[in-house]
Amino acid sequence: MGRIPKRIVFSYILDWIVILATVVAGGVFSRITPNKRPFSPVDASISFPFVHKEKVSTAVLVISAVIGPGIVIFLVCLLFIPGPTPRSSKWQLWQRKAWELNTGWLGLGLSCAAAFLFTNGSKNLFGKPRPDLLSRCNPDLAKISDYAVGGFGDKVQEGILLVSAAICKNTDKSRLNDGFRSFPSGHSSLSWAGLAYLTLFLSAKFAITIPYLAPRVFGKQIQRSSTADRVFDSDTPLRSQAAAPPLYLLIIAVIPIGAATYISSTRYSDFRHHGFDILFGSAIGFVSAWFAFRWYHLPVQRGAGYAWGARSPSRAFGIGIGAGSYAGSEDSGREKTAKDPDLEGGPVAPGSHAGGDTIEMDDYAEETGAVSGSSPQRLNR
């Protein structure tokens, strides 16, 4: 916990640069003229009125899905990190807070940036009409046959045909182009990307998870907690190895999901998106949130609320072939593996010592991120 190597600092600065570049790319996509799918001027599903005042504007969306979660993450890291750990210096304490804040914001940025890029790119590729397209378009029905691009038979009078966007008399190109960006829903994807990530972050930090039975290691069962691993013998009753979290914590974790659901629903009531557009956009956001969270954080059930540790300085920008992890020894590029006494060079399970009668629990916990600064514990096999 001394000086931070510059290679590690630059490595995570590069992560931020990639995230910002992704946001810029998504912004560029949002300004490209979308593909305009032909439509029917008598299609009831795109005949809804244009709503001038949306329930959730773009500014409110950004505050709710990006800035708000960022503030909550900051407060959690400031007030609750590192949790009940052994006494350490103020420098170590603030370094740990800064690390958890950095990874918390990195995950949030990655989630929102990925959803933003994928959504805007998809909108322009598909060019699906919004439910209020005809209100935006104001089609020139007197010349409907001049703009017909599809349909069947001579059915111009009955309107059984498809027309191109050239039939639109609206001169506001920005509003008209936006009328062909229905799929997928950007409000839904961004709200779920930011708020579902916040739910995962809060669940990890406050251990809001369904009780579970810990895995067994060499005949012992290890129950991970925020400070150290509790080891249960095989005769410990299963019901005594876990307990349900307080229910009010579950309510706290569900609030962001409720907010994301509300934001998504307004896109339907404001006639901006069809139902499937909203569902697909929500799926994009949720997948982005889960991926970004797991990229920087340990699993909710097994991680004791902590993020992954920093990359190794020698592997901060890549490891190539032959190394199994971005964390590792600094004195060589090779992995240090324990050896099986009966098979020279053969690896054995992490945390075990071939030929010995003990398991170094501190090493095992350190690998999982469950223990920070705890004294070594040894278990007899």
Q: How many Å apart are CA 225 and CA 238, to the nearest integer?
A: 16
Q: What are phi and psi of 325, to 5 degrees?
A: -155, 155
Q: Positive or negative, the Cα torsion across 255, 68, 25, 131?
A: positive
Q: What is the pLDDT of residue 281?
A: 97
Q: How many CB atoms lie within 10 A of CB 34?
A: 21
351, HSE (Cβ side, Cα atoms, 13 Å):
17
Q: What is the pLDDT of residue 1?
A: 44
Q: What is the pLDDT of residue 342?
A: 39
- For residue 319, what are the CA distances in angstroms to 7, 158, 311, 323? 14, 66, 11, 6
Q: What is the pLDDT of residue 161?
A: 83
Q: How many Å apart are CA 267 and CA 106, to the nearest integer?
A: 28
User: What pTM value is reported for the model?
Assistant: 0.81
Instruction: Give domain limits for the chain.
Output: 6-209+245-296
Q: Characterize 301-324 residue by residue with b for buried, 16 or more Cβ atoms within 10 angstroms of its Cβ, and e for exposed.
A: eebbbbbbebbbebbbeebeeebe
pLDDT in tens, the chain (381 residues): 457 788 889 999 999 999 999 999 999 999 999 999 999 988 999 999 999 999 999 999 999 999 999 999 999 999 998 877 666 788 888 888 999 999 999 999 999 999 999 999 999 999 999 999 999 999 998 888 888 887 665 555 555 688 999 999 998 999 999 999 999 999 999 999 999 999 999 999 999 998 877 666 555 555 554 444 555 655 677 787 788 889 999 999 999 999 999 999 999 999 999 999 999 999 999 999 999 999 999 998 888 888 988 888 888 888 888 888 888 765 444 444 444 443 333 333 333 333 333 333 343 344 444 333 333 343 433
Q: How many Å apart are CA 4 and CA 309, to the nearest integer?
A: 13
